[in-house]
């Protein structure tokens, strides 16, 4: 049969299909009893019509997938096939079940080689997602096992199939379709002599599943990020800087952004209020004196304009009287989180005596889990990987660079972090020239949003970017569900495929320095 002769159609099973279904089942299951009785199939269609899927070629039934609803907790544990069957061979479909159970997948022998089984499995997965069910479970026969039973235990046989040293027509197919072996089932179908009564309990997990009790409190999955490519300009007062910040917050809020992101050390022009700028340390400590006011005012804006604000970064005087470069996350509910810069550049260390922080965290928001790394920190891949291990969705990177090569270090490293950690990365910088202020002569920036590099994202993995060296705002809509899919089913799965048997990464506990660690 040539491909040109096929006229395939996917639809739900109907009662009138039973004669053709019986023909298929009798031919394929001749060794374990043949077809289900007609009343069994009709009852299953009546109770769960969406779960019974067929492929027809013209008017000929060539593929069938039969499915029931079950309780996940009951059927993700050891069970037998008979646990699915009630009196008079009625399949026990549970109307309020939270998982699908794959009963049968049948392909007409004349139509094998066209991947129709894969098409039926994909239809089941789509159904599972659309119904917000936890997973698809299946008891899988291992019909080739009888050929190896004398030399291999069932577990050894399954291991060899998983390593593709043995091909099993059912288990190999299920593994190729994303199912994982959860456990070995004994006496699952005693009359199955080829499998010697054994079966595998297989599971495909719905990574988009949301428990019913979380529906009202579940976070958004499509979010909007707005970034401000900030112009460094001369300011006459603190009020004029805050007025400019509020102008942008207002504008981003008008476009229903969930986040507003500002650059690193965006309020540094306030150093220009000092007449004597000869001492860099005195200048930066003077700037740090405004930080508490900025933090409180920007938090007020976050609440008033209903937007989460990543407040660039500012210089903070710590309890130890040391200087730190800190970014603040001002939530729209009034909460404030902080993340200090961990790696300090030679210039910051030499001219300003700034010290690196000790803590690293992912912050839960109403629009995803975010991490924050300030400029130089994104050039150290270990930090982003530690955040990815805490299920980070978006990495915010406020930066400040003077030349294009300096900027490209940040940009290229940030894009690598998005790819290797399968997350979004937002980089936001400042532009403009201020020759009257020491250490603030020139700026170079092109703010951008980067994505993982896979089919569901832009071909160059750039979601949005600004015009270089121009004051402007930038927006990007980020789909958090796509991150779940790429992490589980992407062309490559970087996070899943790490060789943790060879290496590990962990953050040392420095809480003893502040006296917060409990021994």
Active site residues: 264, 341, 375
Q: Strands 135-141 and 180-185, how do they pair?
A: unpaired
Task: From residue 476, give the alpha-carbon distance in Å to each of 66, 335, 373, 422.
Answer: 42, 24, 19, 17
Question: Which region holds residue 464: left if phi is over 0, alpha if psi is between -120 and 50, else beta?
Answer: beta
- Report the SS3 class of residue 488: helix
Cα(375)–Cα(427) distance, integer angstroms: 8
Task: From residue 121, give the alpha-carbon distance in Å to each of 64, 66, 136.
Answer: 10, 11, 10
Query: For the chain, what percentages of helix, strand and coil (3-state, to nearest 5) are there?
Result: 35, 25, 40
- Report the SS3 class of residue 227: strand
Neighbours of 493 (CB within 10 A): 14
Q: Quick check: 397 and 410 in contact, CB under 8 A?
A: yes
- Report the SS3 class of residue 433: coil
Sign of the C-alpha dihedral, residues 399, 415, 341, 367?
A: positive
DSSP 294: H
Q: Quick check: 269 and 233 in contact, CB under 8 A?
A: yes
Tokens (6 digits) for 81:
């096939």
No. of helices (H) and no. of strands (E), the chain: 13, 21
Cα(451)–Cα(423) distance, integer angstroms: 6
Beta bridge partners of 63: 55, 107
Nearest-10 crossing angle of helices 291-304, 238-254: 30
Neighbours of 467 (CB within 10 A): 12
Cα distance between the two ends of the chain: 73
Query: Which helix (H) or strand (E) is 365 found in, with range?
Result: strand 363-365
């Amino acid at each position: 049969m040539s491909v040109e002769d096929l006229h395939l159609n996917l639809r739900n099973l109907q009662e009138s299909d039973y004669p053709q279904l019986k023909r298929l089942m009798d031919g394929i299951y001749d060794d374990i009893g043949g077809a289900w009785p007609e009343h069994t199939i009709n009852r299953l269609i009546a109770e769960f019509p969406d779960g019974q899927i067929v492929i027809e070629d013209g008017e000929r039934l060539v593929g069938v997938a039969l499915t029931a609803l079950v309780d996940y907790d009951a059927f993700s544990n050891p069970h037998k096939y008979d646990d699915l069957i009630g009196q008079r061979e009625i399949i026990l479909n549970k109307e309020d079940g939270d998982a699908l159970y794959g009963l049968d997948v049948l392909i007409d022998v004349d139509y094998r080689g066209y991947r129709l089984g894969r098409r039926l499995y994909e239809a089941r997965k789509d159904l599972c997602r659309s119904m917000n069910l936890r997973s698809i479970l299946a008891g899988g026969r291992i019909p080739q096992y009888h050929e190896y039973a004398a030399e291999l235990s069932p577990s050894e046989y399954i291991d060899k199939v998983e390593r593709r040293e043995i091909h099993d027509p059912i288990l190999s197919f299920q593994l190729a379709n994303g199912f994982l072996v959860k456990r070995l089932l004994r006496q699952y179908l005693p009359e199955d002599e080829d499998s010697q009564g054994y079966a595998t309990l297989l599971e495909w997990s719905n990574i988009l599943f949301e428990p019913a009790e979380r529906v009202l409190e579940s976070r958004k999955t499509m979010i909007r990020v707005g970034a401000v490519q900030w112009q460094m300009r001369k300011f006459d007062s603190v009020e004029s800087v805050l007025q400019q910040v509020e102008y942008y917050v207002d504008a981003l809020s008008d476009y229903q952004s969930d986040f507003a992101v500002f650059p690193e050390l965006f309020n540094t022009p306030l150093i220009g209020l000092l007449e004597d700028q000869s001492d860099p340390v005195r200048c930066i400590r003077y700037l740090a004196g405004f930080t508490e006011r900025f933090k409180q005012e920007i938090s007020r804006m976050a609440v008033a304009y209903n937007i989460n604000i990543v407040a660039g970064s500012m210089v903070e005087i710590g309890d130890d009287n040391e200087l730190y470069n800190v970014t603040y996350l001002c939530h729209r509910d009034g909460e404030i989180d902080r993340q200090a810069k961990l790696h300090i550049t030679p210039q910051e260390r030499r001219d300003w005596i700034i010290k690196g922080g000790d803590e690293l965290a992912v912050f839960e928001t109403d629009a995803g889990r975010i991490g924050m790394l300030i400029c130089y920190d994104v050039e150290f891949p270990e930090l982003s990987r530690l955040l990815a291990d805490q299920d980070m969705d978006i990495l915010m990177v406020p930066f400040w660079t003077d030349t294009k090569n300096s900027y490209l270090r940040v940009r290229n490293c940030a894009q690598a972090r998005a790819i290797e950690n399968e997350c979004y990365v937002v980089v936001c910088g400042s532009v403009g020239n201020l020759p009257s202020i020491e250490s603030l002569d020139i700026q170079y920036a092109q703010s951008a949003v980067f994505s993982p590099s896979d089919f569901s994202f832009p071909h160059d993995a750039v979601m949005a970017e600004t015009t270089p060296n121009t004051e402007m705002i930038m927006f990007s809509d980020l789909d958090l569900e796509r991150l779940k899919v790429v992490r589980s089913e992407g062309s490559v799965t970087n996070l899943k495929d790490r060789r943790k048997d060879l290496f590990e990464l962990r953050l040392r506990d420095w809480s003893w320095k502040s006296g917060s660690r409990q021994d």
